[in-house]
Structure 1
């Protein structure tokens, strides 16, 4: 997920890329992307919508002079955000997962920011001129018509899902395909389970808020007994409010750390799956060409053999690039997940300490109230 720095291919520092602001106009989200010029204190700020990100991704797919492009694991672009409407919540949750649960699209902005950083640190993709244009040109590139890339050329092949079960000639790739299938399924399950946990925490926080508010309705100043009961209700309301705040913080921590990590892991596994499938399609093409060459008549055999060599050369190049990508991917995904897990543990520990301190204060207040 992370690559060795290749910042010299860009006019800005890859590590400085940030999404610092978000504005919403109807259903359109506009993102403010800032970065730092290389060897300069000058900063750059551009405004992009999701259509512009799609243009960038298509430009990465469409590079024609990059050897073995089909062997690259492309950083996955988060799906387009849907408007925050009650009737769209289920669809948004299905499409965006954790990215649809955060407040003010913070998680979504972080995912887009991470996408740009991954492209900018990729040793090959960072050299794409479209990336530099996307990051520094004030004019939006999204309305420019993109060229058809490898995914368009393979759109027909992608529909033939039977090719996914085609046995590979290389045990390395066959084992990788098997592992990817298993990890992809497990990542989706883990993501769905954590989403259930977060949504339950949010519902509990909402219920606590209603309960805390309802306790205020019990306040009565008619007589001494009512006044005493009112004090208990108010103190209990404060305690329930503290419980509510804890649920909110825990849910927020789950979203901004482990949730984003699982979301990224799941989308990257899908990106690797797509790369492995592209290579499988090329393998099937090579095997078909070999069979055609064997059956070719003598007057056409020489031409077919040359064509076979060209396809075989391309397949070997894709396989070579794919192996490097897989090794790089496995090395970096461990570090990325580790960082998300560390962040998750630290935030939850801090929240637990704050909550324990607050509960202690409420407990002491209750003791003082009954000792009076």
Structure 2
């Protein structure tokens, strides 16, 4: 088992662009993900096996860096919800696109999570990242100490701070925009998921109809029966092609725009969490200022120190947050653009292949007539 990680500066020895989740292994109800990372030296690769708990271990170590100035202003790459073998309907709904198909979409989401961390100027320096990607031993399962990012307690104890008026118009505007975009991104992902699931149902129905047409085939020398059987066989081939076409269309939707919309939705939520953490610190700062103003002479100096510390911390958070927002806005446009381009390219290729195949079926049916 790995040693207890100390949060110190560390330089990654892997190429951040070549971190791949290549396979998922199932052992009963447990899942193990195989991660292959290219060494930065170019001399080989690291191969490690990680369970979902290991990903949570990494995330918690990143969350707990309270000694890093401005860490609360970071938009943390969102970790997908835990996948399960034979998952319930509730879990499948939570996973959305990541619960479709085999395991490729989910592995792709974990891969994106790791690449985003490795590319982050602050998060990539945490020693836990290097250990996670390179050590053959599994990470420790010890609980990381409670910290500012405990989402459950944050939601319960700090909910009232969400609507607090911001003193900085930049952040107030960003909070307003994020509220709208988070809702739109979630709705877009849900609606597109409905489209994909409908396509999958159509593909299954075409497959069933194709198989049913074979039941109409009758043996015998009767010419009418032979002609009817031949027509049924040909129609069965047509519907089988329709099944394959619709299956490819659905797979293309998932692997391109579907994953893009899913990531956009989860990142909007990650930005919302960052903005909320900053708002909580703003409330704390305002409280510290009021306490300093009202403090009695004997406690005045101590309260002033608390106020200065809160101001320094808040300034760090705001500085990091503005950089993160600028980086995020550029990255999300590029990400969605790439997803749309890939979606169009794949669907055009599928359409051309299907058109050629359907044209062959059409010529065959004309020949039969």
TM-score, normalising length: structure 2: 0.95
Q: Distance in 1 between matches of 2:41 and 2:98?
A: 35
CA RMSD of aligned residues (A): 1.3
Instruction: Give the match for residue 229 of structure 1.
Output: 228
Q: Distance in 2 between matches of 1:116 and 1:169?
A: 35
Instruction: Give the match for residue 137 of structure 1.
Output: 135
Instruction: Give the match for residue 22 of structure 2.
Output: 20
Instruction: Give the match for residue 111 of structure 1.
Output: 109
Instruction: Give the match for residue 248 of structure 2.
Output: 249
Secondary structure in 2 matching 1:16: strand
Please say if residues 157 and 281 of structure 1, whose CA atoms lie closer than 8 Å, have aligned partners that are also in contact. Answer: no
Q: Distance in 2 between matches of 1:180 and 1:109?
A: 27
Q: Distance in 2 between matches of 1:276 and 1:229?
A: 67
TM-superposition CA deviations, 1:284-331 (whole Å, max 9, x none): 001111112222112211211111111011011101110000001101
TM-score, normalising length: structure 1: 0.94
Instruction: Give the match for residue 35 of structure 2.
Output: 33
Q: Distance in 1 between matches of 2:11 and 2:218?
A: 71
Instruction: Give the match for residue 276 of structure 2.
Output: 277
Q: Distance in 2 between matches of 1:337 and 1:279?
A: 27
Shift of 1:143: 1.7
Q: Indicate which of 111, 126, 148 corresponds to 2:146.
A: 148
Unaligned runs of 5+ in 2: 1-9
Q: Distance in 1 between matches of 2:66 and 2:175?
A: 26
Shift of 1:274: 0.3
- Number of residues of Structure 1 aligned to a counterpart in Structure 2: 358
Please say if residues 265 and 333 of structure 1, whose CA atoms lie closer than 8 Å, have aligned partners that are also in contact. Answer: yes
Q: Distance in 2 between matches of 1:198 and 1:27?
A: 27
Q: Distance in 1 between matches of 2:127 and 2:270?
A: 22
Q: Distance in 2 between matches of 1:63 and 1:325?
A: 17
Instruction: Give the match for residue 166 of structure 2.
Output: 168
Instruction: Give the match for residue 42 of structure 1.
Output: 44
1:268-347 paired onto structure 2 within 5 Å? 268-347=267-346
Q: Distance in 2 between matches of 1:323 and 1:81?
A: 33
Q: Distance in 2 between matches of 1:293 and 1:155?
A: 31
Shift of 1:148: 2.8
Instruction: Give the match for residue 158 of structure 1.
Output: 155
Q: Distance in 2 between matches of 1:342 and 1:300?
A: 62
Deviation >3 Å, runs of 4+: 154-157
Instruction: Give the match for residue 363 of structure 1.
Output: 362
Instruction: Give the match for residue 5 of structure 1.
Output: none
Please say if residues 107 and 256 of structure 1, whose CA atoms lie closer than 8 Å, have aligned partners that are also in contact. Answer: yes
Shift of 1:155: 4.9
Instruction: Give the match for residue 3 of structure 1.
Output: none
Please say if residues 203 and 242 of structure 2, whose CA atoms lie closer than 8 Å, have aligned partners that are also in contact. Answer: yes
TM-superposition CA deviations, 1:181-233 (whole Å, max 9, x none): 00000001101101110110011111111100000000012311111100110
Please say if residues 53 and 142 of structure 1, whose CA atoms lie closer than 8 Å, have aligned partners that are also in contact. Answer: no
Shift of 1:150: 2.4
Q: Indicate which of 57, 74, 80 corresponds to 2:76.
A: 74
Shift of 1:95: 1.3
Instruction: Give the match for residue 126 of structure 2.
Output: 128
Shift of 1:43: 1.1
Shift of 1:142: 4.3
